[in-house]
Amino acid sequence: MQHPGDQASDQAGERERLLAAFTRVRGFTERICEPLTVEDHMLQVVVEASPPRWHLAHVTWFFETFLLRSYLPGYRVFHERFEYLFNSYYEQTGTGFWPRPERGLLSRPTVAEIHDYRRHVDAAMAALIADCPAADWPAVAERLATGINHEQQHQELLLTDIKRNLAHNPLRPAYRADLPESPRGDPSPAQYLPFEGGLVEIGAEGEGFAWDNERPRHRVYLAPFALADRLVSNGEYLEFIEDGGYENPALWLSDGWATVKERGWSAPLYWEQGGDGWQVMTLAGMRPLSPAEPVCHLSYYEADAFATWAGRRLPTEAEWEHAAAGIPVDGNLVESGRLHPRPAGKGAGGLRQVFGDCWEWTASAYLPYPGYRAPAGALGEYNGKFMCNQMVLRGGSCATASDHLRVSYRNFFHPYERWQFQGLRLAEDR
């Protein structure tokens, strides 16, 4: 049995660690927004890309709603209507929420007022972390870790939403013109690495933070398979386009072909063809397409059609996790400061680009693991209610924080969505 003094010491250390993480993550969100004008903060050009000002407020609402209102005695709510304006989709909070398609239609509160809101909540959170009674601390610590990881998810959404909003402008303005360009040179040819399969375990393990959709850890049987050692490149995808890939219904799922015709797709999102060849919109503005970079901003439909054209397939999420197990979370992630995928470089005998660069579409529908139960209350809405009509992606992107990822991390989007940094890795049967 642990001595009460040891428990207090452990709790003090955990409070210090979580306060440091909270402060660091909150600061990074605001640094992401520093290059933006006030006008940029207001933009919402499509339903899925929320205005930056909304992200700044929503992640703050999360801490106020799920921590301060419940656990900080005497907490003064910054503005009662913010609970309605900046709720995303939580039905069980009882307040309802402003419609997602109309987030860009509100000029008030101002960006300055939202920053005041952030400072108000940050000060209250510091007080809660310092003064929370020991009996309440385990619940507070769990919700605080959730809130920190929630904000990290919105940091990635901020970057992809900024890119989507700026790309709508015919001036194609840069978010940051100083971002580095990729090195030249083609990656070495993809090699297919074999895996024996068999009865394997996937899912989060241990006591560290993981989302509920990563649990419970469970066994899965895998037939022998092989994975490409790197992501598909722009140059390889260009061959698919030039071979009539967007004009051949035999390559596409029925829903995918209907989407291609309805939306007039002929290339990945942000690709533009002009007199000087293909250009691509980046967070640094328009740049020449680099054949060596991983192809990104693909829908699931496009990824699946390319795999069919290439005579291969997408991996399942269980195959991906089994193959990636034991590989450190390292790569072209948000800490690199590139904010754009980079070429794979030369192979060294193992899997490359496992973490970072592009989220990798898998062939797996987003479904609950065996034995999954959504947590009780409004926080149980975070993942469970979306386990329908979406597909799983793995591995993170150039806009994902390294300490936010794990090999068991499951991202998910509708198969037609492509504004995230989404690419693919090919698989084959053995």
Question: Residue 346: what residue type?
Answer: K
User: Which tens digit of pLDDT belongs to each residue from 337-361?
Assistant: 999 999 998 877 899 999 999 999 9
User: Is 396 inside any structural domain?
Assistant: yes
- Residue 148 and residue 225 share a domain: no
- Residue 333 and residue 204 share a domain: yes
**pLDDT at site 398:** 98
**pLDDT at site 2:** 56
Mean pLDDT of the chain: 95
Among 167, 202, 218, which residue terminates a domain?
167
Report CA 228 to chain centroid distance, whole Å. Answer: 22
User: Is 174 inside any structural domain?
Assistant: no
User: Is 366 inside any structural domain?
Assistant: yes
User: Which tens digit of pLDDT belongs to each residue from 192-209?
Assistant: 999 999 999 999 998 889
With a pLDDT cut of 70, the percent of the chain lying above it is 98
Euclidean distance between CA atoms 84 and 61, whole angstroms:
10
- Residue 102 and residue 29 share a domain: yes
Q: Which domain CATH number covers 88?
A: 1.20.120
Binned at pLDDT 50, 70 and 90, residue 43 comes out as very high
- Residue 229 and residue 152 share a domain: no
Beta strand residue intervals within 179-290, DSSP E: 192-195, 198-202, 218-222, 225-228, 271-274, 277-282, 285-288
Euclidean distance between CA atoms 217 and 226, whole angstroms:
23
Beta strand residue intervals within 171-307, DSSP E: 192-195, 198-202, 218-222, 225-228, 271-274, 277-282, 285-288
User: Is 187 inside any structural domain?
Assistant: no
- Residue 424 and residue 303 share a domain: yes
Euclidean distance between CA atoms 322 and 329, whole angstroms:
15
- Residue 102 and residue 17 share a domain: yes
Among 107, 132, 167, which residue terminates a domain?
167
Residue 233 in contact with residue 182, Cβ under 8 Å? no
Binned at pLDDT 50, 70 and 90, residue 380 comes out as confident
User: Does the pLDDT value for residue 7 go beyond 70?
Assistant: no
Domain extent, residue 263, equals: 192-429
3-state DSSP call for residue 400? coil
**pLDDT at site 346:** 80
User: Does the pLDDT value for residue 275 go beyond 90?
Assistant: no
Report CA 186 to chain centroid distance, whole Å. Answer: 27
Query: Which single residue is written with the structure tokens 């007080």?
Result: 127
- Residue 205 and residue 104 share a domain: no
Euclidean distance between CA atoms 113 and 41, whole angstroms:
13
Residue 202 token pair: 């996937």
User: Does the pLDDT value for residue 220 go beyond 60?
Assistant: yes
User: Which tens digit of pLDDT belongs to each residue from 18-38?
Assistant: 999 999 999 999 999 999 999
User: Is 232 inside any structural domain?
Assistant: yes
User: Which tens digit of pLDDT belongs to each residue from 55-73?
Assistant: 999 999 999 999 999 999 9
Lowest mean pLDDT among 53-67, 197-211, 256-270, 371-385: 371-385
Residues forming a β-bridge with 391: 365, 413
DSSP 410: -
User: Does the pLDDT value for residue 1 go beyond 60?
Assistant: no
3-state DSSP call for residue 77? coil
Cα–Cα distances in angstroms (integers) from residue 137 to residues 14, 18, 254, 266, in the given order: 10, 12, 51, 53
**pLDDT at site 3:** 61
With a pLDDT cut of 90, the percent of the chain lying above it is 89
User: Does the pLDDT value for residue 6 go beyond 70?
Assistant: no
- Residue 262 and residue 128 share a domain: no
- Residue 41 and residue 79 share a domain: yes
Question: Residue 414: what residue type?
Answer: H
Q: Which domain CATH number covers 316?
A: 3.90.1580.10
Among 167, 183, 206, which residue terminates a domain?
167
User: Which tens digit of pLDDT belongs to each residue from 223-254?
Assistant: 999 999 999 999 999 999 999 999 999 999 99
- Counting the structural domains of the chain, the total is 2
- Residue 417 and residue 283 share a domain: yes
User: Is 186 inside any structural domain?
Assistant: no
> What own/partner pairs with CB < 8 Å and gap ≥ 24 does 72-79 have?
72/124, 72/127, 72/128, 72/132, 75/124, 78/116, 78/117, 78/120, 78/121, 79/109, 79/117
Lowest mean pLDDT among 83-92, 184-193, 200-209, 252-261: 184-193
- Residue 153 and residue 199 share a domain: no
User: Is 216 inside any structural domain?
Assistant: yes
Per the document, the length of the chain is: 430
Angle at 295 between CA 290 and CA 301, to 5 degrees: 150
Residue 54 token pair: 């909304």
* Consecutive H or E run containing 365: strand 359-365
Binned at pLDDT 50, 70 and 90, residue 4 comes out as low
Binned at pLDDT 50, 70 and 90, residue 10 comes out as confident
**pLDDT at site 5:** 61
Helix residue spans in 80-211 (DSSP H)? 82-85, 111-131, 137-167
- Residue 21 and residue 153 share a domain: yes
User: Is 379 inside any structural domain?
Assistant: yes
